[in-house]
Chain A
């Protein structure tokens, strides 16, 4: 028992979490006693300190800091023997695992868990909104439902699920054995459930969960009950996780590409994650700061946002949106990468305008930092700021348009395999373009003055984040499912899932454009009779949308357990992750691959993206189809190596 307690793992983590709470209580009591605070025992204060401190004890107990602590304390640090790599049972997913493939699966499964929680909250929101007046929740609970829904979907689903998929496939795609910093990678993942559990548990806080929307505008957020702090502090952990992962991606992409993998030979998914990581590293500290201000205002009376004491309310919105607009691209660019992979493979054609695709990603990164105040056209900021922000917001549609047109040119005259990943990709293009158009409309200041803070905005963000991001997530999950699990999914159920979602998604969100323009404000539990008919339809459609997700859950669970075995390269794709077995070997490549060409040379006779021998040696299989050649090499596991830089 004692040995079990000393070993890193969930048991030690649980015990140390309790120690952390006790530590928080003692620290709080000591400070309060020293400063003669009244009353001495303040439950809220103890909870607040515990929210900050206990997660570090939890991570320590889990073993996330062990190696670093050994090193820091001068003990002999253990050279990495890779014994922590891989997973042989489900238990291996519940420990600090440094294998990027295990971490990728941990990320994806955790994200989908919180997606189901967030989706359930959305169902409750729609149940309340099915008819005017109060149905079954009070306004405080209602405000909590949509606030936690948005926070979970953004911080615990869309952002991390992309990080998870990239974690799994990105090192494989660039021919690397793992991420650059495996221990940091593990730490990044384990900060995520902390944030998710914290936000979800806020419903049990005194006074209810945080109920000020995911935007948490001050001064409302500094005056409400302490459930707000579960968001404020939760975001710190989700944000830290994001930043650490983004740094990891950047270093991995810059330093760990296989020989021959120049930047202009990288698959667009890698480019997309490179661009996203730049956004995350630069922008995410701003949301952490905005919430830190709220925390200090709430807990210690800093009065950042108290105008009577010289505070400035608009400052919150500027700092918040300086992250939260780029965040929209953080939630979209990795999806662009996925779509490029799927469309090229499923159309059997090279990506049209590969370099422009990469440049447009970088253009979005740059422009993405110049548009934040379009969320504030009616906020009362300096009026002149609105005009340049309108122009940059409209112009950012140009690189986005380049991507859409290039995808259309890619499928043009291809040989289209209309299976599940392809359906989701085409569905993405058709839906995302609508989100883009309503985005341009919102950029037009006179229109925005009328529709901001209405259901038109709700419709817009769901077309961007659901019809956009979530469709790409499903495309990616189906596309890499065989690689990640070694099993094929049920194609028929995949199509049922797509069509159910596609139809109910449109029935749910398209009418919101109309009721928004007609004057229904967002974030209300009650509305006038005039909107009753549409809201009933929206609620019914949203329940169907909820059910469609269950089809997906059943499909992946059943297929993972008992699907047919997947071959190494069921899609005949050229990128490197498909040239190794499904799932890949524990260290990814038995032989270091050498990249000799572009990643999408479909239709080019004899073209190969990567070979498993040093560059410069004659290729005896040059005349064979690309996939076959590389597959034969992978299967043969011929060790050449020696060219790694």
Chain B
């Protein structure tokens, strides 16, 4: 009995080592594969760098855990499955082993606590106050963002595009006019909910020039999917120039209208406006001529068919006056009269009247 036990425990140990060996090789392959995957969108902020390397660390810890479990299951299936003639056999009556149980309680606990401490340090780092921070006020509403910059004389400058200077810490003060939204720039990796009645804060330091999507990440109603705008990271000098061109008025309309000089070149055709005004008409409306096919708002090919220019103009400027069947009020942004210049409204109206005749 004694010698038999020694034999089975030695056999068992050899089996265990064999399996752990297979597991170790598979883990290395798994980690390499995990790191080779291009997980993240473009890395455009200081915070993104840190979060991405934290991710790599987590992969390095997670893959071996995953592989270990798979390896044991597969090894058991291969090695211990019932063979012909063993149908009535039972396994050895092992009820447990306190030492092993302590080990597999303690080791994961230690790994997890270490990860938490490290994550806390990263968190302190990415959220800590930085020198020379610029404040940008971000206001969400169904279904658009507006960005406000501090101007002279305490007047704010409003914009529909998020212009940011590269390599400067930005503190976003996030607010909402209606329900919950979530301000997220995937390229920066940072997000925060916009909560009614409060101002939330999130920081990011853009490190790469370019244009990146601004996304609403919290379900906010019918237009949630199309509540997308752009963040443009430009050089410090280009940012200053852009900011100077924005007249310092609290009325966001005039400024956004002037965006033409920086964002949209003036004199766009109606069709170009249809797909470029932010938020774009085409993100919510189907219009065959512009090639858009969204159904958040009414299909304009049908809804505007044969309608007068006056009707179309009212539909743009006072969207809640005429509600198409099957839709409800309050979905279309009510502020196109502020964000569009009069000549742009004219161009849009003429274009829409023409293509929906």
Contact = CB atoms under 8 A, between A and B. Distances in A.
B69 interface: yes
A418 B190 CA distance: 47
B89 A394 contact: no
11 contacts: A354-B96, A378-B217, A402-B101, A409-B96, A441-B55, A441-B58, A445-B119, A445-B120, A447-B119, A524-B225, A603-B92
Given A134-B295, A219-B196, A353-B97, 6 more contacts: A398-B112, A409-B96, A429-B73, A430-B73, A444-B54, A526-B283
Given A220-B219, A352-B94, A413 B80 contact: yes
A138 B295 contact: yes
A411 to B, nearest CB: 5
Interface centre among B58, B97, B222 (most CB of A within 10 A): B222
A449 B37 contact: no
A514 B39 contact: yes
A433 interface: yes
Interface string A393-430: 01101100110111011011111111000000010011
B166 interface: no
Interface in A589-614: 601-604, 607
A444 B58 contact: yes
A572 B81 CA distance: 17
Q: Give the contact-size bracket for chain B.
A: 35 or more
Contacts of A378: 182, 191-193, 217
Interface in A296-317: 307-308, 311-314
Contacts of B222: 139-140, 143, 211
B116 A603 contact: no
B115 A444 contact: yes
Contact of B112 (A225, A440, A445, A604): A440
B293 interface: yes
Contacts of B108: 397-398, 401
Contacts of A418: 77, 81-82
Nearest to A386: B123
B80 A415 contact: yes
A454 B41 CA distance: 13
B195 A313 contact: yes
B6 interface: no
Interface stretch (A98-106, A342-350, A579-587): A342-350
A342 to B, nearest CB: 14
B12 interface: yes
Q: Give the contact-size bracket for chain A.
A: 35 or more
A398 B96 CA distance: 18
B197 A313 contact: yes
Interface in B77-136: 77, 80-82, 86, 88-97, 100-101, 104-105, 108-109, 112-113, 115-116, 119-120, 122-123, 126-127
Contacts of A434: 66
Interface string A198-223: 00000000010001110001011001
B126 A446 contact: yes
Interface in A255-311: 307-308, 311
Nearest to A350: B95
B82 A349 contact: no
A521 interface: yes
Contacts of A355: 96
B223 interface: yes
A223 to B, nearest CB: 7
A313 B178 CA distance: 11
Contacts of B95: 350, 352-354
A527 interface: yes
B35 to A, nearest CB: 13
A519 B228 CA distance: 12
A412 B96 contact: no
Given A138-B296, A347-B91, A405-B104, A414 B76 contact: yes
A133 interface: yes
B179 A219 contact: yes
B166 to A, nearest CB: 20
B216 interface: yes
A526 B73 contact: no
A453 B105 CA distance: 31
B62 interface: yes
A379 B39 CA distance: 24
Contacts of A134: 286, 293-295
A525 interface: yes
B247 interface: no
B189 interface: yes
Nearest to A436: B65
B51 interface: yes
B337 interface: no
A350 B92 CA distance: 8
A284 to B, nearest CB: 24
Contact of A217 (B80, B119, B219): B219
Contacts of A95: none
A528 B186 CA distance: 13
Contacts of A607: 93
Contact of A408 (B15, B69, B184, B293): B69
A235 interface: no
Contact of B90 (A311, A348, A430, A444): A348
B312 interface: no
Nearest to B15: A413
A141 B353 CA distance: 30
Contacts of B224: 139, 143, 523-524
B283 to A, nearest CB: 8
Contact of B293 (A133, A217, A528): A133
A445 B81 CA distance: 42
B220 interface: yes
A69 B30 CA distance: 65
Contacts of B216: 521
B218 to A, nearest CB: 6
A542 interface: no
B1 to A, nearest CB: 13
A311 B195 CA distance: 12
Interface centre among B96, B122, B215 (most CB of A within 10 A): B96
A140 B328 CA distance: 10
Contact of B39 (A140, A313, A348, A518): A518
B51 A450 contact: yes
Contacts of B15: 413
A38 B101 CA distance: 69
B70 A430 contact: yes
A380 interface: yes
Nearest to A140: B222
A514 B196 contact: no
A452 interface: yes
Nearest to A391: B116
A517 interface: yes
Nearest to B223: A139
B268 interface: no
Given A140-B222, A379-B195, A412-B72, A601 B179 contact: no
A339 interface: no
A175 B255 CA distance: 77
Contact of A445 (B123, B179, B226): B123
Given A353-B96, A390-B119, A402-B105, A314 B195 contact: yes
B94 A350 contact: yes
B73 A426 contact: yes
A379 B77 CA distance: 45
A416 B213 contact: no
B200 interface: yes
B65 A433 contact: yes
B180 interface: yes
Kindly list the 7 A-B residue pairs having the minimum CB-CB distance in the complex, ordered from nearest. Answer: A307-B197, A519-B186, A524-B225, A349-B91, A603-B90, A414-B91, A603-B93
Nearest to B39: A517
A412 B109 CA distance: 23
B40 interface: yes
B221 interface: yes
A387 interface: yes
Contacts of B215: 519, 521
B50 interface: yes
